[in-house]
Amino acid sequence: MKKIAICILVALFGGVAPAQGQLLKKLKKRAERAAERTVERRVDRETSKKTDEVLDSILEPGKKGKKPKGKDGQPLPGGDNPNNTGNDGLGGPDTNAGESGPKSITVYSKFDFVPGDQPMFFDDFAYDFVGDFPAKWNTNGSGEVVTVNDSSEKWLEMVPGWDIFYIPDIPNLPEEYTIEFDLLALGLDRQTSSTAILDVVLSDDNMFKRGANFVQAKLPFCQYSQIGINMENHINGKRVIYSTINADVREEVINRPHISIAVNKQRYRLWINEEKHVDIPRIVPTGVILNTIKFGINNFKDGKERLFISNLKVAKGGVDLRRKLLREGRISTNAILFDSGSANLQPQSMGVIRQISQVLQQDGNIKLNIIGHTDSDGDDSNNMSLSKKRADAVKSALVNIYNVDGSRLRTEGKGETVPVGDNGSSEGKAQNRRVEFVII
């Protein structure tokens, strides 16, 4: 391809006057570099395609085809199944709008986010009616629960406006906790404003102001230029940190990004999908309680550019599960997620599975029993079978992604027989959908 590009240049520029020689040399060099990059991209695509085919045969045999799209050409937010209503992990689906499955799982193999292990809040709007404002949220603006395309999955559509906030009813936040949510953006293009952003605010004000003490992240949705993630805090009314972190997230924000945030005392980290973009060691004010999470959007064109949020999960903790497993001999986690009604791992689960693999790599004598649990939705016998398949899927990830010896792993499914929460509530179901690791 490089040779073809050079030949074309020779044909085009061979007879041009010497006065333009320097310009043409520059253009020729640029064209050569562009041709090289094109070849490199094509090789990368072909290599990635072959890798995916191998992983398909290992992790999801029989899975073929592309992700379906809705009537407007947008990927369906509910995953590969247009009727998918969520998953049976900690909460609702954690599916990217891009391809799910093995490719995403391998990409997430170095993901180091570990969700908190004590659920405090979860909402996928399953108990809210379409057209209503969600029961477990508050706002000083407007918004409603909607579905998108042919999926029955529910989202809260937020309305842009300065100092308009959407506040979930979350109990007071502890010193260490994690926040996760999915976003879906529609209608973005190269005319989307450079100031089109989502505000995520942690505040000591429980109403509709930022407060005297807060931390906020501004996630950009501009498509024509790289904007970066703006971080800011105020301590006792005074701004201490104000910075913009260099990050090109244009592709991520249009493909249903999964946002993960970890607060560990003063430290604040933020991931978009598998990539960590923010890690500031001392941005969270001390001596005050930032007891409220707020979301707000600005400079989205009304009626054209739309932003939706769903599957908000807040959990206490986010501690190092490796030490806990070694110290106590067992751990239970709600952070390993699966597609609804299946044993297909969601890629965001890899942070926990990676830590488990590190324990096994550190001590070659350790053997583990992996136990799957479900909530009470569905048939008892199906849930028993599903929980075992999910335990098997975790084992497969440990063996095939992290090269753990399979003889050191045993799997078991207990279905819905050992609940730890109330199956009559979203939070209780989230607690019951879990995976245990027990040293044997």
- Reading the chain (440 residues) residue by residue, the pLDDT tens digits are 544 444 544 444 454 455 455 555 555 555 555 555 554 555 445 544 444 443 344 333 334 333 333 333 344 333 333 223 334 433 333 333 333 344 467 778 778 888 887 888 999 999 999 999 999 999 999 999 999 988 889 999 999 988 899 999 998 889 899 999 999 999 999 999 999 999 999 999 999 999 999 999 999 999 999 999 999 999 999 999 999 999 999 999 999 999 999 999 999 999 999 899 999 999 999 888 899 999 999 999 988 999 999 999 999 886 678 888 998 999 998 888 888 888 999 888 888 899 899 999 989 999 999 999 999 988 899 999 999 999 999 999 999 999 999 999 999 999 999 999 888 887 788 888 999 999 99
Specify the pLDDT at position 117: 74
Burial zone of 174 (CB within 10 Å; 0-12 exposed, 13-18 middle, 19+ buried): middle
Please report how the helices 321-328 and 350-362 are oriented relative to each other, as an axis angle in degrees rounded to 10: 50
The backbone torsions φ and ψ at residue 74, rounded to the nearest 5 degrees and listed phi first, read -80, 145
Q: In whole angstroms, what is the distance from residue 208 CA to residue 144 CA?
A: 18
Phi-psi region of 72 (alpha: psi -120 to 50; beta: other; left: phi over 0): alpha
Largest CA distance in the chain: 84
Specify the pLDDT at position 162: 85
Q: Token pair 């609940």 is at which residue? A: 419
Q: Token pair 């488990």 is at which residue? A: 356
Q: In whole angstroms, what is the distance from residue 378 CA to residue 25 CA?
A: 68
pTM of the model: 0.66
In contact, 400 and 59? CB cutoff 8 Å = yes
For 11, 133, 266, 417, the CA distances from 421, given in Å and listed in that order, are: 74, 26, 31, 12
Specify the pLDDT at position 85: 34
Specify the pLDDT at position 73: 39
Q: Which of 274, 313, 92, 300 is nearest to 198 (CA)?
A: 300
